[in-house]
Chain A
Amino acid sequence: MTMKYTKDHEWLKIEDGDVAVIGITDYAQNALGDLVYVELPKMGRQVKKGEHFAVVESVKTAAEVYTPVTGEVVGINDNLSGDPELLKKSIEDGWIAKIKMNNPEEVSAMLDKAAYDDFLKTVE
């Protein structure tokens, strides 16, 4: 499965059919700067597409992270609580949460890599 993206700079990767792994893109990481805290969602929480479900805090600001899909939080990356900078390391280390999707079709509306890269060219 390839990566999908949102205009809010989240990335999503499908794992095990209907489970989506979600994180924030390099662009968002660079815009935020030094990360100091990640507020994770609670396990089992039901989230709706477009709802904010996590907050990434940098020295400068707090950024809400929105879920591109509807479903249940079935995994959270607890390592981020102790070391928020892990978020920048890789997809394997820096994911935020896993969501078991109610409607995997929602993913098809997201941007692919090429479309996201084109979108980045239009933002400063």
Chain B
Amino acid sequence: MKTTALHSAHLALGAKMGEFAGYDMPLYYKEGVLKEHEWTRAHAGLFDVSHMGQIMVTGPGACAFWQHVTPGAYDKIPDGRAKYSVLPNEDGGIIDDLIVSRLGPETFFAVVNAGCKDKDIPWLRSHLKFDTDMEVWEDRALLALQGPEAERALRNVLGVDTSDMPYMWVIEDKGLLISRLGYTGEDGFEISIPQRDAVHIWDQFLAHESVKPVGLAARDSLRLEMGYPLYGHDIDDSTSAIEAGLQWIVAKDHTDYIGAKTILDHLQNGVSRQRVGIRLIDKGIAREGSELRDEQDRKIGTMTSGGFSPTLKQSIGQGYIETAFATVGQKIFVNVRGNNIAAEITELSFVPAKTKSMKKKAA
């Protein structure tokens, strides 16, 4: 199995390890998933996400390249801005979801899912033109520092002041690439670090009073509370960005990208199923794969992620449901081991995001 530069650090912390996307990764540390989840919401959690793919695309054609392989308008954002998007396939399904950051007019940095990088990289390369270069950063680690005390920890540990830095922006400082974004709904950062410095910076963060290590299990419960999709579960090559409720990533007046035909058709004519949030009303825990049923016990959808919300102390999830049922407050049933449990459709996000404003403060 593959490992990250922090593998021995996880073992030394007594992490429970597990396989994720071919990597031996920490699922949780000694305090357990619930405590790590709560710590991240209250202070700052440190996650090793070095298994994710880091990609640099440079050259005169870099911006046009991203506008061809995603539905986003990278010509309309300023340097230093990051944007969430997807890589659609020819049929409008999703090859992967990713963050693309515009570092300069001809320099773009992308972070893709660990489990997808082996298919993303050849796909992206196959669409590169002669005027554009792509480099996969194999020798970089990626840390996520997430939580209300992340800004303070970043200042104390790295000496980087981000008090004026808005959400979804990126800065380069001390050889690090620091993006203010994340997968938890908290204020926080993802920090791309040369591999040789990874252990040192990891240890320095953990020495800070606000910071504790958090594993992939709590990363999943944190993102589930926010209604963020997890690739391979809530989105995949058979779901369009519109079915997935990601209309907001599709740039207006942008029609010339891979998969645009289906995506624009779905935008204009609607979709037969939609991704929604699901909250159990009665007791129980519903997980991925549970069928969604109507009052007549007819299957109307499937749960694609589900579990216990540490913040709400109840079972939440997301899934695809026939559009006629995709209304907030709609009562449905979730079938768990043969029993129908009363549930209702909710917004995708169960907990309000505490991220900063995206706007730059006026000088």
Which A residues form the contact surface with B (CB < 8 A)? 33-34, 36-37, 39, 55, 57, 59-60, 62, 81
Contacts and interface: CB of A to CB of B under 8 A. Distances in A.
B59 interface: no
B337 A59 contact: no
A81 B37 CA distance: 23
B184 to A, nearest CB: 16
Contacts of A34: 32-34
B308 A59 contact: yes
Contact of A62 (B34, B285, B310): B285
B34 A59 contact: yes
B312 to A, nearest CB: 11
B217 A60 contact: yes
A36 B33 CA distance: 12
Q: Which 5 residue pairs spanning A and B have beta carbons closest together?
A: A36-B308, A34-B34, A57-B285, A59-B33, A37-B285
A33 B32 contact: yes
Interface of B: 27-28, 32-34, 37, 217, 221, 283-285, 287, 307-308, 310, 315, 337
B308 A37 contact: yes
Contacts of B32: 33-34, 59
A34 to B, nearest CB: 4
Contacts of B315: 37
A64 to B, nearest CB: 9
Contacts, number: 33
B287 A62 contact: yes
Contacts of A62: 285, 287
Main secondary structure of the interface of A (DSSP, over half): strand
A60 B216 CA distance: 11
Given A37-B308, A60-B33, A81-B283, 18 more contacts: A33-B28, A34-B32, A34-B33, A34-B34, A37-B283, A37-B284, A37-B315, A39-B337, A57-B285, A57-B308, A59-B32, A59-B34, A59-B37, A59-B221, A59-B307, A59-B310, A60-B27, A62-B287
Nearest to A33: B32
Contacts of A81: 283
Nearest to B34: A34
Contacts of A59: 32-34, 37, 217, 221, 307-308, 310
7 contacts: A34-B33, A37-B283, A37-B315, A39-B284, A55-B337, A60-B33, A81-B283
Nearest to B307: A59
A83 to B, nearest CB: 12
Nearest to A81: B283
Contacts of A33: 28, 32-33
A58 B307 CA distance: 9
A88 to B, nearest CB: 12
Nearest to A37: B285
Contacts of B285: 36-37, 57, 62
B195 to A, nearest CB: 30
